[in-house]
Structure 1
Amino acid sequence: MALTRCNYCGYAYDEWNGDTRNGVPSGIPMAKLAGTVCSRCGLQGVRHERQPSPKYEGDEAEYYEQFAGKAGIDFYRNWLETSAKPVRALELGVGTGRLAAELAPRTERYCGVDWSPRMLKTAETKRKRLFKSEAEERLQLVETDALDFCSEAAFTHALCPDGFLQHYTLMEEHVALLRNLHRSLEDGGHVAVDVHLPPAGAGWQTRQRKQLQPNKWVSRRLEGETSLSRQLFRCTIDYETYVDGAMASRYRVEREFALITPKEAALLLASAGFEATRAVWNFGLVEPWPTAVPFGINRTTDGLGEAETIKEAIAAGKDVLPYRPYIWGNGGYPLASAIPGEAPDAPATVTLIARKL
């Protein structure tokens, strides 16, 4: 995160917020504060350490699956089922086992890595229920930072779901993590990396509400800001629990994520020894913007010749899209139909599939 702390005097500084007590405006890098603000350390030397993102705890861990839902499960299940040989899968950021519980029964071996004990406790409960006496053999759960994970076994598939790569905000961390994955995969193995694109604009907010029991609700509100110059986006996330219409509890956490485009993700994968072969928007629910697709992938259909009709192309064995009349029905008086447009500033999840070279 952009939060640093001195292990000598304890002075903490957050670049996003500055330091109002000492008259430092927001957005000032810590390096510019050297020799000012703190008389004990002068903000110089190696004692100032970047603070890691907070672990998923409290209500954030408890209600994680309520808001993540089933996103990506069908996509990843279909991806693993296309493998021509038995699957040995590695998932970084396994969390509560939301994906692992659905995918592990379809694999020969599944390993999930996470550093949040609260999330892994939920995953452990699912593991015992699913596999009983074979739990540790079929679904291995490892509590560690993904950057420190090392496995002697070789996996056929690796997953970085739910924007896991973006929890690390420095480029050297991205490269180190992907190289770690490269070492963990067998030759020709595949990796899938989810990249979250936040809403456009300097400031944005979203809100969702879920019913837990007839008289109990939980609301999650995100207030975020995106910085192009820092290539980061930051969220303040509030979980509010209501019982019989009255607030019973509130949990707040701040998170910071790397802002990575699909093209940048493809280049990062290439730097770590992978070749991106496919890019999928929102797990296949929408088509990608052509300007955002990395070069050389997603060429799934053939083009028509200069004087060739669709019927002639299909008869010649070409893979072209057939003509679909009347498929678009937007418009109408006095209201447009329920089919929404794909706004260019809407948030999206891009999944890049890559092969180990």
Structure 2
Amino acid sequence: MSDVQYGSAVSSVYDILLSDPIPARDTVDFLRDRVAGKDVLELGVGTGRIAEPLAPLVRTLTGVDNSPHMLEGFRAKGVPQNVTLIQADFRTPVPTGGSFDAAYSTLGSLACCRDRDELRAALRGAAGRLRPGGVLCLEYYSADTYRLMLQASPFASRTAEGHPFEIRLALDPVRTVLTSATTISVHGEKVDFAEDVLLLEADEVERCLTEAGFAAVETLRQPGQPFDWYVARAPSASESAAEPTE
């Protein structure tokens, strides 16, 4: 798996590809009550597809992404004044001294890990940046949906603007790493890109969150949709004080 999966070609078509099947407004509506008026961290901010409309609802928003091309796409739109962008790999500790009331990651961004250990490390990094009782809203690939989609692969469609695209899915031999290869044609120019993601069952995602230090996990399944939501709560001050010391 390459360290940066989204280069300049991908950043130029990313919003076009996602505008119809996964409207940003649905994600903003889900997050609204969980982040309103708070200091918020987004892991995998990309081109600001969610951060931009969410910014007026929050006190501050810090967006982290390891792709300079995706961040440049966000900057080209105009970054809201209360938004700070950091180029960094969220699979390592986020290089900011601040803490947050809430964090979120959408479209399975945190699934871009090589294995469960790397995912747990990313989740521990998020937990470590949350204030006591803070929440992480995690959108993660639905194993049930993608196993059905694998049977139909490859499949072709068009974006809301009429741009044709094709997606080809494949699983590795141990059936945990999903490769999604996409070809989209925009104004006669073809863009090819692929991403590798860790495909886990819902109970495995829950276990990784618990092992990363979250005190409670609520799973919100979305039958037939490509992603499920997980809402995980960091320990409160009293819970942290009650933990045994070695």
* TM-score band, normalised by shorter chain: 0.7 to 0.9
Cα displacement (A) at 1:259: 0.8
Q: Secondary structure at the match of 1:145?
A: coil
Residue 12 of structure 2 is aligned to residue 67 of structure 1? no
Match of 1:270 among 204, 210, 221: 210
Please report how far the alpha carbon of residue 211 of structure 1 lies from its aligned counterpart in structure 2 after TM superposition. Answer: 5.8
Q: Which residue of 2 aligns with 1:349?
A: 227
1:54 offset after TM fit, Å? 2.6
Match of 1:146, SS state, is coil
User: Aligned letter for 1:119?
Assistant: M
Structure 1 residue runs without a partner (length 5+): 2-50, 243-247, 283-287, 289-345
User: 1:231-258: CA deviations, max 9, x gaps?
Assistant: 111122111234xxxxx22121222111
Query: How far off is 1:146 after superposition?
Result: 1.4
* Secondary structure at the counterpart of residue 207 of structure 2: helix
What amino acid does structure 1 have at the position aligned with 2:42? E
CA pair 53-257 structure 1, distance change in 2 beyond 3 A: farther
Provide the rounded CA distance (Å) in 1 between the counterparts of 2:230 and 2:136.
8
Partner residue, 1:332: none
Output the CA distance in 1 between the equivalents of 2:201 and 2:44: 20
Q: Give the one of 169, 173, 176 matched to 2:121.
A: 176
* Contact 1:80/1:87 (8 A) holds in 2: no
Gaps in structure 2 of 5+ consecutive residues: 236-246
Q: Which has the higher contact order (CA 8 A, sep 6+)?
A: 2
The alignment partner of 1:147 has SS state of coil
**Amino acid in the other structure paired with 2:66:** W
Counterpart in 1 of 2:105? 160
% same residue: 21
Instruction: Give the 4+ runs in structure 1 shifted more than 4 A.
Output: none
Match in the other structure for 1:208:
157
Q: Is the 8 A contact 2:91 2:119 kept in 1?
A: no
1: CA distance, partners of 2:191 / 2:99: 40
Contact 1:224 1:234 (8 Å CA) reproduced = yes
Match of 1:20 in 2: none
Kindly indicate whether residue 141 of structure 2 is the aligned counterpart of residue 196 of structure 1.
yes
Tell me how far 1:153 sits from its aligned partner: 1.0
**Equivalent residues in 2 for 1:242-257 (5 A)?**
242=187, 248-257=188-197
Q: Which of the two has greater helix per residue?
A: 2
Instruction: State the Cα distance separating 1:73 from its structure 2 match.
Output: 3.4
Alignment length (residue pairs): 228
Contact 1:88 1:108 in 2 (8 A): yes
- Structure number with greater Rg is 1
Query: Alignment partner of 1:266: what SS?
Result: helix
Letter in 2 for 1:265: V
- The aligned amino acid for 2:12 is E
RMSD over aligned Cα, in angstroms? 2.3
2:72 to 95, 116, 121: 121
- One-letter amino acid of the counterpart of residue 74, structure 1: D
2:199 match: 259
Question: Which amino acid is 2:67 matched to?
Answer: S
